[in-house]
Amino acid sequence: MSEDINIIISALKYWNIDLKRPDRDYSSRFKIQKLAYLCKSMGMSLNYKFTLYLNGPYSTSLTQDYYQAPKLIENLETDYKFDEKDLNILDKISEYVLNHPITLEYESEFLEAVATVRYLKNKYSDMLDDEIFAKTKEIKQHLKDSIIVLAINTVKKLLFKPEFLTEEARKEMDIWDKAED
Amino acid sequence: MQGWKKLQIKSREIWNVELSYPGEGVGHEEKYRHPCIVVKFNKFVDMATIMPLTSNVIVLKDFPYTYILNPNNSNGLTKKSIALIYQIRSLSKQRFVSKRGRIIRSNYENIQEILKDYFQIY
């Protein structure tokens, strides 16, 4: 069992996510996989390798870890402490993904869409939104268009940096800011 | 902009909008004329709520609350463009110059989803 599972358990604890034993519950396994991928893709130091599987990013080594320690996950047993950078990542995932209003009705679909879009954006960094949408639709035909669109917007929120506000971007906005009525 | 009072402006349409009134932007009229998507026309006050479009896709593609539109016969756009949903605002009908086209329903529904996300209306 790798040390990384402690980071995942600590993240679940931080978010106050109550899961059933992952060896007995598919939805627990699904949620752990998608959230672990989001953490890694946002810059947390995790060694798990993910590939795009049937329901989005998936790691076999993470699977092995939670099958070896199902009770630790069920009881959220860990003493791992995050640094400020990681807490910032966890807060973003909490705000933009876990607490998005759509999760009240479509939690698993939204998680799958967000993790998949993030994976595609990472793999094909030059792809524009319309191409990401088409690619996601092609490989995830069961996902509603509206969920994919929200997922693309959510990934942009997760990845946004103040540096994106370049002088040229500000100029584009200024044009419209001057037209006030 | 003569005869602007007779213009019929409807939701989903794309219009060229003058961003400076005559005399304000002398020499810059072309620069300040931009396409926009009409969200709602309010006939009681002759104003339309719009979302601006720009062809500067590369600069703004990573901003949340944006949506890319490809040119087609229906929307009348000539270049790949990006709708700046977060720049939603109401403008006087006097600023509306000419209609370019109408965006297809599926694109508009996707934009509405992002708009709902922006205003947290669920």
- The tens digit of pLDDT for each residue in A117-174 reads 999 999 999 999 999 999 999 999 999 999 999 999 999 999 999 999 999 999 888 8
Within the 20-59 window of chain B, which residues sit less than 8 Å (CB to CB) from chain A?
Answer: 20, 31-32, 34, 47, 52, 54, 56-57, 59
Residue B4 to chain A, least CA–CA distance (Å): 15
Asked casually if ipTM beats, i.e. exceeds, 0.85, the reply is yes
Distance from B53 to chain A by nearest Cα, in Å?
Answer: 10
pLDDT of the residue at A155: 98
Q: How much of chain A, in percent, has pLDDT values that exceed 90?
A: 87
User: In chain B, which residue's Cα lies nearest the Cα of A132?
Assistant: B68
Residues of A with Cβ-Cβ distance to B84 under 8 angstroms: 172-173, 176
pTM of the predicted protein model: 0.93
Q: What is the rounded average pLDDT of the residues A16-37?
A: 94
Which among A145, A160, A168 is the nearest to B62, CB-wise? A160
User: How confident is the model at residue B29, as a pLDDT?
Assistant: 45
Q: How far is CA A62 from CA A39, B75, B85, in A?
A: 13, 47, 39
Q: Is there a contact between A114 and A151 (Cβ–Cβ < 8 Å)? A: yes
pLDDT score at B26: 44
pLDDT at A179 exceeding the cut of 80: no
Beta bridge partners of residue B52, listed in sequence order: B36
Sort strands B81-84 and B89-92 into parallel, antiparallel or unpaired: unpaired
Question: How far apart (Å, rounded) are the C-alpha atoms in residues B27 and B64?
Answer: 33
- For residue B112, the SS3 value is helix
Chain B touched by A166 (CB under 8 Å): yes
Length of chain B: 122
Closest residue to B68, CB basis, from A130, A145, A176:
A130
